[in-house]
C-alpha cells in the first residue's frame, strides 16, 4: 500500500503542510494554495506541447542521426550542437527534462545531455538579451564567459561520474524519479 503512494509523496506532503497551515495561519494557507494552483496550471499548459514534441522526436528523428551528432563520437561538434539546442530553446527548465530523456534514449552522450540542460537553464538567448538590457552588455558577456566553461566542465564531469552506457541509465533515472 505504501509503495502505491510513493510517486505522490511530494504532492501529499505539500497538501499536508497546506492543511496544517489552514488551521494555524489561514491567510498564508490560501496564498500557498493559490501559488500551488498557479504553478500546476503553468505546468499543465507547458507539458502537453513538450510531450507532443517528444513524441515527434521519437518518431521522426532516427537514432543514428542523434548518435552521429550528439553521440559518443560527436566531439566538439556535439558540444556546440548541444549548446545551440539549449540556448535556442524556449520555456521553463522542467520542459527540457523530457527532451533530455528522449535524447538519451536516442544515443546522445551524457556530456551533451548535461550541456543541453545547462545551457537551457542558464544561457538562453532571450535571457541574455534581457540581462544585457537591464544589467548591461559588459556584465552579460562576463557572466557568459564564466558560464560556458562551467557548463562544459559539468557536462564532462557528469559523463565521468555516470557509468558506461550512461545515456540510458540517466534517461531511466530521470523517468524513474518523475514517476
Name the band, by pLDDT with cuts 50, 70 and 90, for residue 179: very low
- Cβ atoms of 171 and 117 closer than 8 Å: no
* In-domain check, residue 53: no
Same-domain status, 89 and 161? yes
pLDDT > 80? residue 164: no
Number of compact structural domains in the chain: 2
* In-domain check, residue 148: yes
| CB proximity list for 144: less than 8 A, separation 6 or greater | 123, 128
- Cβ atoms of 128 and 94 closer than 8 Å: no
In angstroms, the CA 92 to CA 43 distance is 9
Same-domain status, 80 and 165? yes
pTM of the model: 0.73
In angstroms, the CA 140 to CA 136 distance is 6
Q: What is the DSSP letter of 71?
A: S
In angstroms, the CA 93 to CA 122 distance is 9
Identify the domain containing residue 29 by its residue range. Answer: 1-46
Same-domain status, 42 and 110? no
Query: Quick one: cell of 129?
Result: 538579451
* In-domain check, residue 56: no
* In-domain check, residue 119: yes
Burial class (CB in 10 A: 0-12, 13-18, 19+), 46: middle
Any idea what the Cα angle at residue 90 is, between residues 152 and 87, rounded to 5°? 25
Q: Please provide the average confidence, as pLDDT, over all residues in the chain.
A: 84
Question: Which of 7-11, 75-79, 114-118 shows the lowest mean pLDDT across its residues?
Answer: 7-11
Same-domain status, 71 and 25? no
Same-domain status, 165 and 77? yes
Return the closest-CA partner of residue 82 out of 170, 141, 175, 151: 151
Return the closest-CA partner of residue 151 out of 127, 115, 110, 126: 115
* In-domain check, residue 65: yes
Same-domain status, 79 and 167? yes
Question: Which of 47-51, 131-135, 147-151 shows the lowest mean pLDDT across its residues?
Answer: 47-51
* In-domain check, residue 145: yes
- Cβ atoms of 117 and 87 closer than 8 Å: no
* In-domain check, residue 54: no
* In-domain check, residue 129: yes
Amino acid at each position: 500500500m505504501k509503495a502505491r503512494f510513493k510517486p505522490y509523496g511530494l504532492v501529499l506532503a505539500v497538501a499536508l503542510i497546506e492543511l496544517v497551515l489552514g488551521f494555524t495561519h489561514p491567510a498564508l494557507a490560501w496564498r500557498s494554495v493559490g501559488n500551488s494552483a498557479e504553478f500546476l496550471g503553468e505546468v499543465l499548459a507547458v507539458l502537453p506541447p513538450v510531450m507532443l514534441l517528444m513524441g515527434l522526436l521519437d518518431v521522426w528523428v532516427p537514432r543514428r542521426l542523434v548518435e552521429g551528432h550528439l553521440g559518443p563520437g560527436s566531439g566538439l561538434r556535439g558540444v556546440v550542437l548541444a549548446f545551440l539546442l539549449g540556448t535556442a530553446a524556449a520555456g521553463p527548465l522542467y520542459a527540457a527534462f523530457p527532451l533530455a530523456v528522449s535524447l538519451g534514449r536516442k544515443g546522445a552522450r551524457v556530456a551533451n545531455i548535461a550541456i543541453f540542460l545547462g545551457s537551457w537553464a542558464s544561457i538562453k538567448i532571450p535571457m541574455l538579451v534581457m540581462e544585457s538590457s537591464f544589467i548591461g552588455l559588459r556584465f552579460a558577456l562576463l557572466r557568459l564567459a564564466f558560464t560556458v566553461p562551467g557548463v562544459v566542465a559539468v557536462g564532462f564531469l557528469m559523463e565521468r561520474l555516470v557509468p558506461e552506457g550512461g545515456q540510458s541509465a540517466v534517461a531511466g533515472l530521470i523517468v524513474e524519479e518523475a514517476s
